[in-house]
Structure 1
């Protein structure tokens, strides 16, 4: 694992220390790693949303569409329970 040192103003350092204490992180590094992971997830989701927005519209998601999804989930759950 690589090491990175960062400088924070006292107010931000106090905030980080408070978050570590209140949210159950073992160290400030764990807290910062979690923030970075969340940012990665947010950026990934944003990319997926933008990609979806740039595609042609699909069929509307009406009641029949959602009932079809429920049927598929039920079939998979039933198959998993049987075997």
Structure 2
């Protein structure tokens, strides 16, 4: 891979609010997709496929939820 991808922006899971945590979770999910498929043209070509597939959209939501659970734990959101 020619481009280095930082999977944890600012090297921290700490956020000021749960909303910022959720946004970070979405960003981290997008970064893992970019790392898994670094070719932007391929990602663009595949986007219409998963945009019309409910199972794939649910799977994307699950990835974000997993990332958010990790961030929430780091921030003690469930205290």
| TM-score scaled by length of structure 2 | 0.31
Structure exhibiting the larger radius of gyration computed from Cα positions: 1
Q: Which has the higher contact order (CA 8 A, sep 6+)?
A: 2
